[in-house]
Structure 1
């Protein structure tokens, strides 16, 4: 699909953003997100009601048996308002590409990357927030950052299961109902979410803070059909509370085919360095890639939908070129980027030979001292919470029903369409 309906965006953004990148907004200036939603939700409810009344019986697409056995790929069956993935342009957050988000979303006073708080406001409301609105969210989240003592105690005893920690938080609607633990450092309400998150991890590096702002923004949402997002939606459709829904999504994110992909990339890159040293020649790299392709795939390359280099990869590459151009691991990633796509194209079987987001993120995290690869899924989950919670808000606001697709047995399908051994 060509995004003709968004052709107005460049001119619009040019009018909304001054030369010094300050954002102005024609929408309500309230910094209270709930108040803004009170205005928007009834209008959206009425719009969807009228749309369904006029078009509810129309077909969106056809389902094949291969789709049913193939993980439901290609089936249009989910409403997801916050983002949409285009094969050529990549992800759009409420219609905005990643470069557009980098340009128009509010930033920290001394920062260049967008604040995740601003992205969350955009995902929830569909509006580009003002600096004041993003700052209000920073303060609101900071006020909610203190953990109950029973959660901090659980954290100390069971430190390896992030989803379990989220589940324990569902016991009370408000943390204020329990005495808050004082041993875990709380956030500074004068700082933004990414700054506080980085500091709580034990780091004091402005560049890492900027990376976290970028990382938490670009990993936030990727349509609703991926495992983590769909799981949150599915569990939430049963009216499970947001903590339980998010915990379920985190368990899905921890699968090696989803949130662990950047770890596999790092392991593969480290194997190359172990075998050939830090200065790998083109011929050595081509030989290693050829050996890899004999038994599997090059990790970090290819995507189920995208047919170009993932824009999330590109913005991370630009960050690396600016801040760590001489890092040996980044140089290797860059060399892989020039060599792998032509090799995959020559195979003639690969629809997308380009790198995705996972081909780059781990290298940046390693450079800034985040060496524990098992923690990367936690980082991914922290970011993905923005998108799935924004979507859960609208699922509740629109009264979307419990998700309950119809399933069929293989015997039922054979009976309806004929078996493979049926004589023609």
Structure 2
């Protein structure tokens, strides 16, 4: 039994609680392999497959690289291996080959719940396999057992002024977890590189497990929500996160967290946070340092703040045209936004050429749980009207909404209306995809990333010399 779980059992409030936690873990572990055990089984054949793919395709070209791609932020440039997910322009994100509707149907649910548990999504990202309910229950128990953060990290968070942005506090606390990094310790002791994946896995499990505790402490400190409750060893990851935020008694909000964490967990490797985590990890930085760097990228306005911008735009519209505005009033407001040189936030996507399936998943949640919410009705109205307006205006190759067009409205409905905090929730979720890839990078011996760069003068000379 994992040392973290033994400690949790030891610290449980009563013999009955200790027995329940132990039985929960034993029932799942005795019948089926744990995530780490299954990963150990998968690594050797995966290494052989990678060798075979490189032997067969290693010298083949993906196509030409044009200068505009270098100046254009490497948009669309094939340059990374990312195992967990691939973004299909017509179908949206696929997690290990499975669409969002497929994972919603296949992944285990909590008792009495209908949304997929993100524990199952992490298992899928790491192994490529759908876990059983018992395996997910074991993962829930292990994360709950690992959730405590060191006392000095608690003090570090508590000493931050409430005016310090929640994402800055989040990154600071995650960096400080490096103090107890299993990978950093093993590397200092001279671990064989073939074994790097083991302590990377342990750090990744610790990181994911501790994020709700960190996020909850920051939320309560910044917004004056009182003392942090204890982790419930009997509950799943999303329930504990919701409870730490003060919403644990609201079943619908807990369900929203399960959906939110699942659909935001991964989105290919080229987005800023994922790419940053992979890049820093390639220097053999441990998962805590690597993910802290990823969080700093996620905090940027062009990456993690989009849902806030959507919510601001919607509330300004609502204030101007009213809560039950006609379609014509909404159209006029949208056209005024475009004619003012602004974009309609939440619409359009760099890759997708259809409505983001993550948007659809959230829309279905809203139709089920909050169909009469005034702000949701406005979102639905915008969804009906904006695509045709954008096509008419010639403003977007893809006029359809992305995930950010919906998430803020759902959070606001349940009372989590502190928009400056939304990126922290995004950060909790995105750790799943980044750490899954870090584990596989170490298992497959991924090298230090070192792409070639050119100056403008060098490019100019290069092509002039060819002519």
The residue number in structure 1 matching 2:150 is 148
The residue number in structure 1 matching 2:357 is 311
Asked if 2 retains the 8 angstrom alpha-carbon contact of 1:29 and 1:130, the reply is no
Aligned mates of 1:102, 1:305 — CA distance in 2: 23
Q: 1:34: how far off?
A: 1.1
C-alpha spacing 1:72/1:239, structure 2 compared with 1 (3 Å): same
Structure 2: gaps of 5 or more residues: 1-29, 183-202, 207-212, 218-226
Asked if 1 retains the 8 angstrom alpha-carbon contact of 2:181 and 2:288, the reply is no
Asked if 2 retains the 8 angstrom alpha-carbon contact of 1:145 and 1:186, the reply is no
Q: 1:342: how far off?
A: 0.4
Decide which of 404, 425, 430 is 1:379's aligned counterpart. 425
The residue number in structure 2 matching 1:8 is none
The residue number in structure 2 matching 1:362 is 408
Is the counterpart of residue 164 in structure 1 residue 172 in structure 2? Answer: yes
Is the counterpart of residue 407 in structure 1 residue 409 in structure 2? Answer: no
Asked if 1 retains the 8 angstrom alpha-carbon contact of 2:273 and 2:295, the reply is yes
Q: 1:240: how far off?
A: 0.5
Asked if 1 retains the 8 angstrom alpha-carbon contact of 2:181 and 2:286, the reply is no
Is the counterpart of residue 236 in structure 1 residue 281 in structure 2? Answer: yes
C-alpha spacing 1:259/1:109, structure 2 compared with 1 (3 Å): same
Aligned mates of 2:272, 2:325 — CA distance in 1: 36
Decide which of 372, 375, 378 is 1:332's aligned counterpart. 378
1:191-340 correspondence runs (5 A): 191-203=235-247, 204-294=249-339, 295-340=341-386
C-alpha spacing 1:54/1:29, structure 2 compared with 1 (3 Å): farther
Equivalent residue of 1:418, what SS?
helix
The residue number in structure 2 matching 1:186 is 230
Q: 1:291: how far off?
A: 1.1
Higher helix proportion: 2
Q: Deviations over 1:173-228 (max 9, x none)?
A: 3799xxx9997433112110000110011112000000000000000000000000
Aligned mates of 2:376, 2:459 — CA distance in 1: 50
Q: Deviations over 1:339-375 (max 9, x none)?
A: 1000011123420000000000000000011010011
Q: 1:29: how far off?
A: 6.0
Q: 1:276: how far off?
A: 1.4
Asked if 2 retains the 8 angstrom alpha-carbon contact of 1:236 and 1:242, the reply is yes
TM-score by length of structure 1 reads 0.89
Equivalent residue of 1:296, what SS?
coil
Asked if 2 retains the 8 angstrom alpha-carbon contact of 1:166 and 1:247, the reply is yes
Equivalent residue of 2:43, what SS?
helix
Q: Deviations over 1:53-103 (max 9, x none)?
A: 222111112110010000001111100000000000000000100000000
The residue number in structure 2 matching 1:64 is 66
Q: 1:52: how far off?
A: 1.1
Equivalent residue of 1:85, what SS?
strand
Is the counterpart of residue 32 in structure 1 residue 77 in structure 2? Answer: no
Q: Give the ranges of 4+ consecutive aligned residues of structure 1 lying more than 2 Å apart after TM superposition.
A: 28-31, 173-176, 180-186
Aligned mates of 1:29, 1:336 — CA distance in 2: 50
Asked if 2 retains the 8 angstrom alpha-carbon contact of 1:30 and 1:36, the reply is no
Asked if 1 retains the 8 angstrom alpha-carbon contact of 2:276 and 2:290, the reply is yes
Structure 1: gaps of 5 or more residues: 1-27
RMSD: 2.0
Q: Deviations over 1:244-263 (max 9, x none)?
A: 11111111111111110000
TM-score by length of structure 2 reads 0.81
Q: How many residues align?
A: 391
